Structure 1
Amino acid sequence: MSEAKATKGAAADGADGGSTVGTPDGTPGSARPRRRQARGEARIAQLLRAAASVFCTSGYTASSTNAIAREAGVSPGTLYQFFPNKEAIAVELGDQLLNRWRDTYGAAFTQSHIELPLDRMLDAILDPLIAFNCENPAFSVLMHGSEIPGRITEEHDTLHATMLTRVESALAGYLPDVPADQVRRIADMTFMLFKAGLDLIMAHEGEERAAYIQELKTIMFRYLDPLVGDDAPHRAARRAPHTP
Protein backbone atom coordinates (compact mmCIF):
# COMPACT_ATOMS: atom_id res chain seq x y z
CA MET A 1 0.00 0.00 0.00
CA SER A 2 1.34 3.43 -0.89
CA GLU A 3 2.04 5.99 1.81
CA ALA A 4 -0.59 8.28 0.30
CA LYS A 5 -3.29 5.63 0.45
CA ALA A 6 -2.28 4.55 3.93
CA THR A 7 -2.50 8.13 5.16
CA LYS A 8 -5.84 8.55 3.46
CA GLY A 9 -7.17 5.37 5.00
CA ALA A 10 -6.06 6.36 8.47
CA ALA A 11 -7.58 9.79 8.08
CA ALA A 12 -10.83 8.33 6.82
CA ASP A 13 -11.02 6.02 9.82
CA GLY A 14 -10.49 8.98 12.10
CA ALA A 15 -13.28 10.93 10.43
CA ASP A 16 -16.07 8.56 9.50
CA GLY A 17 -14.42 5.18 9.11
CA GLY A 18 -15.25 1.78 10.46
CA SER A 19 -12.31 1.05 12.76
CA THR A 20 -12.84 -0.69 16.08
CA VAL A 21 -13.07 1.07 19.44
CA GLY A 22 -10.59 -0.07 22.06
CA THR A 23 -11.67 -1.22 25.52
CA PRO A 24 -9.98 0.01 28.72
CA ASP A 25 -7.67 -3.00 28.79
CA GLY A 26 -6.51 -2.30 25.24
CA THR A 27 -8.37 -5.14 23.52
CA PRO A 28 -10.48 -4.42 20.45
CA GLY A 29 -14.05 -3.57 21.23
CA SER A 30 -17.15 -3.28 19.10
CA ALA A 31 -16.97 -1.83 15.61
CA ARG A 32 -18.01 1.74 15.09
CA PRO A 33 -21.54 2.04 13.77
CA ARG A 34 -21.84 1.14 10.11
CA ARG A 35 -23.63 4.43 9.55
CA ARG A 36 -20.46 6.38 10.33
CA GLN A 37 -18.42 4.17 8.00
CA ALA A 38 -21.00 4.66 5.25
CA ARG A 39 -20.80 8.43 5.72
CA GLY A 40 -17.05 8.26 5.28
CA GLU A 41 -17.36 6.19 2.10
CA ALA A 42 -19.97 8.58 0.74
CA ARG A 43 -17.70 11.55 1.45
CA ILE A 44 -14.79 9.89 -0.36
CA ALA A 45 -17.02 9.18 -3.36
CA GLN A 46 -18.18 12.81 -3.31
CA LEU A 47 -14.59 14.07 -3.29
CA LEU A 48 -13.57 11.73 -6.11
CA ARG A 49 -16.49 12.89 -8.27
CA ALA A 50 -15.46 16.48 -7.63
CA ALA A 51 -11.84 15.67 -8.47
CA ALA A 52 -12.86 14.04 -11.74
CA SER A 53 -14.77 17.18 -12.69
CA VAL A 54 -11.92 19.52 -11.75
CA PHE A 55 -9.29 17.39 -13.52
CA CYS A 56 -11.39 17.45 -16.70
CA THR A 57 -11.98 21.19 -16.52
CA SER A 58 -8.53 22.39 -15.46
CA GLY A 59 -6.22 19.46 -16.18
CA TYR A 60 -4.36 17.58 -13.49
CA THR A 61 -1.41 19.97 -13.21
CA ALA A 62 -3.49 23.13 -12.78
CA SER A 63 -5.93 21.53 -10.34
CA SER A 64 -5.67 22.06 -6.59
CA THR A 65 -7.11 20.55 -3.46
CA ASN A 66 -8.87 23.86 -2.79
CA ALA A 67 -10.61 23.67 -6.17
CA ILE A 68 -11.62 20.06 -5.53
CA ALA A 69 -13.00 20.93 -2.09
CA ARG A 70 -14.92 23.86 -3.57
CA GLU A 71 -16.37 21.63 -6.30
CA ALA A 72 -17.41 19.09 -3.66
CA GLY A 73 -18.99 21.79 -1.51
CA VAL A 74 -16.80 21.05 1.51
CA SER A 75 -14.02 22.85 3.33
CA PRO A 76 -10.36 22.07 2.56
CA GLY A 77 -10.10 20.77 6.11
CA THR A 78 -12.76 18.17 5.40
CA LEU A 79 -10.90 17.07 2.27
CA TYR A 80 -7.67 16.66 4.25
CA GLN A 81 -9.44 14.31 6.66
CA PHE A 82 -9.56 11.83 3.78
CA PHE A 83 -6.70 12.72 1.42
CA PRO A 84 -3.35 14.30 2.32
CA ASN A 85 -2.79 15.87 -1.11
CA LYS A 86 -3.86 16.03 -4.75
CA GLU A 87 -1.67 13.10 -5.73
CA ALA A 88 -3.44 10.80 -3.26
CA ILE A 89 -6.78 11.81 -4.75
CA ALA A 90 -5.52 11.14 -8.28
CA VAL A 91 -4.14 7.74 -7.30
CA GLU A 92 -7.41 6.68 -5.67
CA LEU A 93 -9.49 7.93 -8.60
CA GLY A 94 -7.07 6.36 -11.08
CA ASP A 95 -7.25 3.00 -9.29
CA GLN A 96 -11.04 3.00 -9.45
CA LEU A 97 -11.13 3.96 -13.12
CA LEU A 98 -8.47 1.43 -14.08
CA ASN A 99 -10.39 -1.35 -12.34
CA ARG A 100 -13.57 -0.38 -14.16
CA TRP A 101 -11.67 -0.19 -17.46
CA ARG A 102 -10.34 -3.72 -16.90
CA ASP A 103 -13.89 -4.93 -16.34
CA THR A 104 -15.07 -3.11 -19.47
CA TYR A 105 -12.49 -4.47 -21.89
CA GLY A 106 -12.72 -7.90 -20.27
CA ALA A 107 -16.43 -7.96 -21.08
CA ALA A 108 -15.77 -6.63 -24.59
CA PHE A 109 -13.09 -9.13 -25.63
CA THR A 110 -15.12 -12.27 -24.99
CA GLN A 111 -14.89 -15.41 -27.09
CA SER A 112 -18.46 -14.95 -28.29
CA HIS A 113 -17.59 -11.48 -29.61
CA ILE A 114 -14.42 -12.49 -31.43
CA GLU A 115 -16.30 -15.29 -33.18
CA LEU A 116 -18.71 -12.81 -34.78
CA PRO A 117 -18.43 -11.61 -38.38
CA LEU A 118 -15.98 -8.73 -38.63
CA ASP A 119 -18.53 -5.91 -38.81
CA ARG A 120 -20.50 -7.20 -35.81
CA MET A 121 -17.31 -7.90 -33.88
CA LEU A 122 -16.29 -4.26 -34.26
CA ASP A 123 -19.65 -3.14 -32.88
CA ALA A 124 -19.50 -5.56 -29.95
CA ILE A 125 -15.98 -4.56 -28.91
CA LEU A 126 -15.83 -0.87 -29.78
CA ASP A 127 -19.20 0.21 -28.38
CA PRO A 128 -18.47 -0.54 -24.69
CA LEU A 129 -14.90 0.77 -24.92
CA ILE A 130 -16.05 4.05 -26.45
CA ALA A 131 -18.97 4.35 -24.01
CA PHE A 132 -16.66 3.94 -21.01
CA ASN A 133 -14.36 6.73 -22.18
CA CYS A 134 -17.25 9.06 -22.98
CA GLU A 135 -18.82 8.44 -19.57
CA ASN A 136 -15.49 8.84 -17.73
CA PRO A 137 -13.52 11.68 -19.37
CA ALA A 138 -11.27 11.89 -16.31
CA PHE A 139 -9.84 8.52 -17.33
CA SER A 140 -8.16 10.05 -20.37
CA VAL A 141 -6.92 13.04 -18.35
CA LEU A 142 -5.31 10.83 -15.72
CA MET A 143 -3.88 8.27 -18.12
CA HIS A 144 -2.26 10.70 -20.55
CA GLY A 145 -1.30 13.80 -18.57
CA SER A 146 2.33 14.91 -18.51
CA GLU A 147 2.62 15.20 -14.71
CA ILE A 148 0.44 12.30 -13.59
CA PRO A 149 1.69 10.32 -10.55
CA GLY A 150 4.12 7.61 -11.63
CA ARG A 151 2.07 4.79 -10.17
CA ILE A 152 -0.84 5.60 -12.48
CA THR A 153 1.48 5.77 -15.48
CA GLU A 154 3.01 2.39 -14.66
CA GLU A 155 -0.37 0.72 -14.26
CA HIS A 156 -1.61 2.30 -17.48
CA ASP A 157 1.43 1.07 -19.40
CA THR A 158 0.81 -2.46 -18.12
CA LEU A 159 -2.84 -2.22 -19.06
CA HIS A 160 -1.94 -0.89 -22.51
CA ALA A 161 0.27 -3.92 -23.15
CA THR A 162 -2.48 -6.27 -21.97
CA MET A 163 -5.05 -4.66 -24.25
CA LEU A 164 -2.70 -4.84 -27.22
CA THR A 165 -2.28 -8.56 -26.56
CA ARG A 166 -6.08 -8.93 -26.50
CA VAL A 167 -6.38 -7.13 -29.84
CA GLU A 168 -3.67 -9.31 -31.36
CA SER A 169 -5.33 -12.48 -30.08
CA ALA A 170 -8.72 -11.39 -31.42
CA LEU A 171 -7.34 -10.57 -34.86
CA ALA A 172 -5.43 -13.85 -35.06
CA GLY A 173 -8.75 -15.67 -35.38
CA TYR A 174 -9.62 -13.59 -38.44
CA LEU A 175 -6.14 -13.95 -39.96
CA PRO A 176 -5.31 -17.66 -39.56
CA ASP A 177 -2.87 -17.75 -42.47
CA VAL A 178 -1.04 -14.52 -41.67
CA PRO A 179 2.42 -14.79 -40.02
CA ALA A 180 2.51 -13.89 -36.33
CA ASP A 181 4.80 -10.88 -36.81
CA GLN A 182 2.42 -9.41 -39.39
CA VAL A 183 -0.58 -10.02 -37.12
CA ARG A 184 1.29 -8.11 -34.43
CA ARG A 185 1.85 -5.16 -36.77
CA ILE A 186 -1.81 -5.20 -37.81
CA ALA A 187 -2.82 -5.23 -34.14
CA ASP A 188 -0.53 -2.26 -33.44
CA MET A 189 -2.04 -0.31 -36.32
CA THR A 190 -5.60 -1.23 -35.32
CA PHE A 191 -4.99 -0.12 -31.75
CA MET A 192 -3.48 3.18 -32.88
CA LEU A 193 -6.47 3.79 -35.15
CA PHE A 194 -8.73 3.25 -32.16
CA LYS A 195 -6.77 5.68 -29.98
CA ALA A 196 -6.68 8.37 -32.66
CA GLY A 197 -10.37 7.97 -33.42
CA LEU A 198 -11.22 8.04 -29.72
CA ASP A 199 -9.55 11.43 -29.34
CA LEU A 200 -11.80 12.84 -32.07
CA ILE A 201 -14.87 11.18 -30.58
CA MET A 202 -14.14 12.64 -27.15
CA ALA A 203 -13.76 16.12 -28.65
CA HIS A 204 -17.36 16.12 -29.90
CA GLU A 205 -20.82 15.58 -28.47
CA GLY A 206 -24.28 14.60 -29.61
CA GLU A 207 -24.81 13.87 -33.28
CA GLU A 208 -21.24 14.81 -34.18
CA ARG A 209 -19.90 12.32 -31.65
CA ALA A 210 -22.14 9.60 -33.09
CA ALA A 211 -20.91 10.48 -36.58
CA TYR A 212 -17.27 10.16 -35.53
CA ILE A 213 -17.99 6.81 -33.88
CA GLN A 214 -19.38 5.61 -37.19
CA GLU A 215 -16.37 6.97 -39.06
CA LEU A 216 -14.01 5.09 -36.75
CA LYS A 217 -15.87 1.82 -37.30
CA THR A 218 -15.90 2.36 -41.05
CA ILE A 219 -12.17 3.08 -41.17
CA MET A 220 -11.31 0.04 -39.06
CA PHE A 221 -13.59 -2.20 -41.12
CA ARG A 222 -12.11 -1.01 -44.41
CA TYR A 223 -8.60 -1.51 -43.08
CA LEU A 224 -9.24 -5.03 -41.77
CA ASP A 225 -11.73 -6.32 -44.33
CA PRO A 226 -9.25 -6.82 -47.22
CA LEU A 227 -6.84 -8.55 -44.84
CA VAL A 228 -9.44 -11.02 -43.64
CA GLY A 229 -10.09 -12.43 -47.11
CA ASP A 230 -13.09 -14.26 -48.51
CA ASP A 231 -12.26 -17.68 -47.08
CA ALA A 232 -11.29 -16.70 -43.55
CA PRO A 233 -13.38 -17.73 -40.54
CA HIS A 234 -16.03 -15.29 -39.26
CA ARG A 235 -16.32 -13.78 -42.74
CA ALA A 236 -18.58 -10.71 -42.76
CA ALA A 237 -20.59 -9.45 -45.67
CA ARG A 238 -18.64 -6.94 -47.74
CA ARG A 239 -20.00 -3.79 -46.20
CA ALA A 240 -18.96 -1.23 -43.65
CA PRO A 241 -20.82 -1.49 -40.32
CA HIS A 242 -24.42 -0.20 -40.39
CA THR A 243 -24.30 0.96 -44.01
CA PRO A 244 -27.08 -0.07 -46.43
Structure 2
Amino acid sequence: MDTATGREQPRRRQARGERRIQQLLEAAASVFCATGYTAASTNAIAREAGVSPGTLYQFFPNKEAIAIELGDRLMHDLRDTYGEALAPVDPATPLADAVAAVVDRLTAFNTDHPVFFALMHGPDMPGGITEAHDALHTSLLGRIETLLASLLPPGTDKADVTRTAHICLGIYKAGLELVLSHEGTEQQAYIQEIKNALTRYLDPLVGDHLGQPVG
Protein backbone atom coordinates (compact mmCIF):
# COMPACT_ATOMS: atom_id res chain seq x y z
CA MET A 1 0.00 0.00 0.00
CA ASP A 2 1.23 3.48 -0.82
CA THR A 3 2.21 5.18 2.47
CA ALA A 4 0.63 8.51 1.51
CA THR A 5 -2.61 6.77 0.56
CA GLY A 6 -2.59 4.89 3.84
CA ARG A 7 -2.33 8.14 5.76
CA GLU A 8 -5.04 9.77 3.67
CA GLN A 9 -7.71 7.13 4.35
CA PRO A 10 -7.92 7.74 8.15
CA ARG A 11 -8.06 11.49 7.49
CA ARG A 12 -10.97 11.01 5.07
CA ARG A 13 -12.76 8.79 7.59
CA GLN A 14 -12.17 11.38 10.30
CA ALA A 15 -13.52 14.16 8.07
CA ARG A 16 -16.62 12.10 7.22
CA GLY A 17 -17.14 11.37 10.90
CA GLU A 18 -16.91 15.06 11.80
CA ARG A 19 -19.42 15.94 9.07
CA ARG A 20 -21.79 13.31 10.41
CA ILE A 21 -21.38 14.62 13.97
CA GLN A 22 -22.11 18.15 12.76
CA GLN A 23 -25.19 16.87 10.91
CA LEU A 24 -26.45 15.20 14.09
CA LEU A 25 -25.76 18.27 16.22
CA GLU A 26 -27.66 20.51 13.83
CA ALA A 27 -30.58 18.08 13.87
CA ALA A 28 -30.48 17.95 17.67
CA ALA A 29 -30.50 21.75 17.84
CA SER A 30 -33.64 21.81 15.72
CA VAL A 31 -35.38 19.16 17.85
CA PHE A 32 -34.37 20.73 21.18
CA CYS A 33 -35.71 24.11 20.03
CA ALA A 34 -38.98 22.58 18.84
CA THR A 35 -39.76 20.27 21.77
CA GLY A 36 -37.42 21.15 24.63
CA TYR A 37 -34.72 18.83 25.94
CA THR A 38 -36.88 16.49 28.05
CA ALA A 39 -39.39 15.72 25.30
CA ALA A 40 -36.69 15.19 22.66
CA SER A 41 -35.62 11.66 21.75
CA THR A 42 -32.71 10.14 19.90
CA ASN A 43 -35.20 8.71 17.38
CA ALA A 44 -36.50 12.22 16.66
CA ILE A 45 -32.95 13.54 16.28
CA ALA A 46 -32.00 10.71 13.92
CA ARG A 47 -35.16 11.32 11.90
CA GLU A 48 -34.41 15.04 11.66
CA ALA A 49 -30.85 14.23 10.52
CA GLY A 50 -32.12 11.75 7.95
CA VAL A 51 -30.15 8.85 9.40
CA SER A 52 -31.01 5.64 11.22
CA PRO A 53 -30.91 5.48 15.04
CA GLY A 54 -28.09 2.97 14.65
CA THR A 55 -26.00 5.56 12.82
CA LEU A 56 -26.64 8.08 15.60
CA TYR A 57 -25.52 5.55 18.24
CA GLN A 58 -22.21 5.12 16.43
CA PHE A 59 -21.37 8.65 17.57
CA PHE A 60 -23.47 9.33 20.69
CA PRO A 61 -24.74 6.87 23.33
CA ASN A 62 -27.76 9.00 24.29
CA LYS A 63 -29.34 12.42 23.92
CA GLU A 64 -27.51 13.84 26.96
CA ALA A 65 -24.19 13.14 25.24
CA ILE A 66 -25.49 14.99 22.19
CA ALA A 67 -26.62 17.93 24.34
CA ILE A 68 -23.25 18.05 26.13
CA GLU A 69 -21.30 18.10 22.86
CA LEU A 70 -23.63 20.72 21.40
CA GLY A 71 -23.43 22.81 24.57
CA ASP A 72 -19.63 22.58 24.69
CA ARG A 73 -19.30 23.83 21.12
CA LEU A 74 -21.77 26.64 21.64
CA MET A 75 -20.13 27.74 24.89
CA HIS A 76 -16.74 27.84 23.15
CA ASP A 77 -18.21 30.04 20.41
CA LEU A 78 -19.98 32.24 22.96
CA ARG A 79 -16.76 32.83 24.88
CA ASP A 80 -15.22 34.15 21.66
CA THR A 81 -18.28 36.33 21.07
CA TYR A 82 -18.40 37.93 24.49
CA GLY A 83 -14.64 38.31 24.50
CA GLU A 84 -15.14 40.69 21.58
CA ALA A 85 -18.45 42.19 22.75
CA LEU A 86 -17.40 42.92 26.33
CA ALA A 87 -14.04 44.57 25.74
CA PRO A 88 -13.42 47.75 27.77
CA VAL A 89 -14.93 50.86 26.19
CA ASP A 90 -13.15 54.02 25.08
CA PRO A 91 -14.28 56.86 27.41
CA ALA A 92 -15.16 58.96 24.34
CA THR A 93 -17.87 56.44 23.38
CA PRO A 94 -21.44 57.58 24.14
CA LEU A 95 -23.20 55.23 26.56
CA ALA A 96 -26.00 54.36 24.13
CA ASP A 97 -23.42 53.36 21.50
CA ALA A 98 -21.47 51.23 23.97
CA VAL A 99 -24.63 49.43 25.09
CA ALA A 100 -25.84 48.94 21.51
CA ALA A 101 -22.54 47.36 20.43
CA VAL A 102 -22.66 44.81 23.26
CA VAL A 103 -26.34 43.95 22.83
CA ASP A 104 -26.04 43.61 19.05
CA ARG A 105 -23.15 41.15 19.29
CA LEU A 106 -24.70 39.02 22.03
CA THR A 107 -28.20 38.92 20.51
CA ALA A 108 -26.72 38.05 17.11
CA PHE A 109 -25.13 34.98 18.68
CA ASN A 110 -28.38 33.94 20.35
CA THR A 111 -30.59 34.54 17.31
CA ASP A 112 -28.12 32.56 15.18
CA HIS A 113 -28.07 29.77 17.80
CA PRO A 114 -31.50 29.72 19.51
CA VAL A 115 -30.79 26.25 20.88
CA PHE A 116 -28.28 27.80 23.29
CA PHE A 117 -31.06 29.59 25.15
CA ALA A 118 -33.30 26.51 24.92
CA LEU A 119 -30.63 24.32 26.54
CA MET A 120 -28.99 26.73 28.97
CA HIS A 121 -31.97 28.69 30.24
CA GLY A 122 -34.86 26.32 29.81
CA PRO A 123 -36.54 24.51 32.72
CA ASP A 124 -34.98 21.17 31.76
CA MET A 125 -31.26 21.86 31.38
CA PRO A 126 -29.37 18.57 30.92
CA GLY A 127 -27.60 17.70 34.15
CA GLY A 128 -24.33 16.95 32.40
CA ILE A 129 -23.84 20.55 31.29
CA THR A 130 -24.97 22.32 34.45
CA GLU A 131 -21.43 22.66 35.80
CA ALA A 132 -20.10 24.01 32.51
CA HIS A 133 -23.00 26.46 32.31
CA ASP A 134 -22.33 27.69 35.85
CA ALA A 135 -18.66 28.24 34.98
CA LEU A 136 -19.67 30.14 31.83
CA HIS A 137 -22.12 32.27 33.83
CA THR A 138 -19.40 33.16 36.34
CA SER A 139 -16.97 33.99 33.55
CA LEU A 140 -19.57 36.11 31.76
CA LEU A 141 -20.31 38.09 34.92
CA GLY A 142 -16.59 38.68 35.36
CA ARG A 143 -16.31 40.06 31.83
CA ILE A 144 -19.34 42.30 32.40
CA GLU A 145 -17.73 43.62 35.59
CA THR A 146 -14.54 44.40 33.67
CA LEU A 147 -16.57 46.24 31.04
CA LEU A 148 -18.50 48.17 33.68
CA ALA A 149 -15.24 49.23 35.30
CA SER A 150 -14.51 51.13 32.08
CA LEU A 151 -18.02 52.63 32.02
CA LEU A 152 -18.48 53.68 35.65
CA PRO A 153 -16.62 56.55 37.31
CA PRO A 154 -13.16 55.69 38.65
CA GLY A 155 -13.18 54.52 42.24
CA THR A 156 -16.65 52.92 42.08
CA ASP A 157 -16.90 50.36 44.88
CA LYS A 158 -16.36 46.79 43.67
CA ALA A 159 -19.55 45.58 45.36
CA ASP A 160 -21.49 48.20 43.39
CA VAL A 161 -19.87 47.05 40.15
CA THR A 162 -20.77 43.42 40.90
CA ARG A 163 -24.36 44.31 41.73
CA THR A 164 -24.67 46.37 38.56
CA ALA A 165 -23.29 43.48 36.51
CA HIS A 166 -25.93 41.13 37.93
CA ILE A 167 -28.72 43.60 37.13
CA CYS A 168 -27.44 44.17 33.58
CA LEU A 169 -27.25 40.45 32.89
CA GLY A 170 -30.71 39.94 34.38
CA ILE A 171 -32.20 42.66 32.16
CA TYR A 172 -30.52 41.17 29.10
CA LYS A 173 -31.67 37.60 29.82
CA ALA A 174 -35.25 38.69 30.48
CA GLY A 175 -35.35 40.62 27.23
CA LEU A 176 -33.61 37.86 25.28
CA GLU A 177 -36.47 35.44 25.88
CA LEU A 178 -38.82 37.95 24.25
CA VAL A 179 -36.39 38.56 21.39
CA LEU A 180 -36.21 34.86 20.59
CA SER A 181 -40.00 34.49 20.62
CA HIS A 182 -40.42 37.09 17.85
CA GLU A 183 -39.15 37.54 14.31
CA GLY A 184 -38.43 40.29 11.81
CA THR A 185 -39.20 43.90 12.68
CA GLU A 186 -40.87 42.93 15.95
CA GLN A 187 -37.72 41.09 17.04
CA GLN A 188 -35.65 44.16 16.21
CA ALA A 189 -38.05 46.27 18.27
CA TYR A 190 -37.49 44.04 21.30
CA ILE A 191 -33.72 44.25 20.82
CA GLN A 192 -34.03 48.03 20.85
CA GLU A 193 -36.08 47.84 24.06
CA ILE A 194 -33.24 45.89 25.73
CA LYS A 195 -30.81 48.62 24.66
CA ASN A 196 -33.14 51.32 25.97
CA ALA A 197 -33.62 49.57 29.32
CA LEU A 198 -29.89 49.06 29.86
CA THR A 199 -29.01 52.59 28.77
CA ARG A 200 -31.60 54.15 31.08
CA TYR A 201 -30.47 51.97 33.97
CA LEU A 202 -26.78 52.75 33.49
CA ASP A 203 -27.08 56.43 32.59
CA PRO A 204 -27.34 57.84 36.15
CA LEU A 205 -24.61 55.44 37.31
CA VAL A 206 -22.21 56.39 34.53
CA GLY A 207 -22.88 60.13 34.80
CA ASP A 208 -20.46 62.20 32.72
CA HIS A 209 -17.78 59.51 32.63
CA LEU A 210 -18.53 58.45 29.04
CA GLY A 211 -18.93 60.44 25.87
CA GLN A 212 -16.27 62.98 26.76
CA PRO A 213 -13.38 63.69 24.37
CA VAL A 214 -10.02 62.43 25.57
CA GLY A 215 -7.14 64.91 25.90
The answer to whether the superposition gives a TM-score over 0.5 is yes
Q: Does 1:202 align with 2:180?
A: yes
Q: Which amino acid counterpart does residue 84 of structure 2 have in structure 1?
A: A
Structure 2: distance between partners of 1:223 and 1:156: 27
| Structure with the largest fraction of helix | 2
| Deviations 1:169-203, CA, capped at 9 Å, x for gaps | 21122222432222221221111111111111111
Any residues of structure 2 matched to 1:111-150 within 5 Å, and which?
Answer: 111=88, 116-150=93-127
Q: Which runs of 5+ in 1 are unaligned?
A: 1-29, 237-244
Any residues of structure 2 matched to 1:30-179 within 5 Å, and which?
Answer: 30-31=6-7, 33=9, 34-111=11-88, 116-175=93-152, 176-179=154-157
Shift of 1:118: 1.3
Percent identity of paired positions between Structure 1 and Structure 2 = 58
Give the direction of change, closer, same or farther, for the CA distance of 1:84–1:115 in structure 2 (3 Å limit): farther
Shift of 1:112: 5.0
Give the direction of change, closer, same or farther, for the CA distance of 1:115–1:72 in structure 2 (3 Å limit): farther
Q: Which amino acid counterpart does residue 16 of structure 2 have in structure 1?
A: R
> Max radius of gyration: which structure?
1
Q: Which runs of 5+ in 2 are unaligned?
A: 1-5
Structure 2: distance between partners of 1:149 and 1:46: 20
Give the structure 2 partner of residue 240 of structure 1: none
Q: Which has the higher contact order (CA 8 A, sep 6+)?
A: 2
The answer on whether the counterparts of 2:36 and 2:124 sit within 8 Å (CA) in structure 1 is no
- Which secondary structure state, in structure 2, belongs to the residue aligned with residue 111 of structure 1? coil
Give the structure 2 partner of residue 14 of structure 1: none
Structure 2: distance between partners of 1:136 and 1:158: 20
Write out the 4+ residue segments of structure 1 that deviate beyond 4 Å after TM superposition.
112-115
Give the structure 2 partner of residue 188 of structure 1: 166
Q: How many residues align?
A: 206
- Indicate the larger mover: 140-149 or 82-91: 140-149
| Deviations 1:74-101, CA, capped at 9 Å, x for gaps | 1111111111111111111111111111
Give the direction of change, closer, same or farther, for the CA distance of 1:155–1:115 in structure 2 (3 Å limit): farther
TM-score between the two structures when normalised by the length of structure 1: 0.79
Q: Which amino acid counterpart does residue 67 of structure 1 have in structure 2?
A: A
The answer on whether the counterparts of 2:89 and 2:98 sit within 8 Å (CA) in structure 1 is no
Give the structure 2 partner of residue 15 of structure 1: none
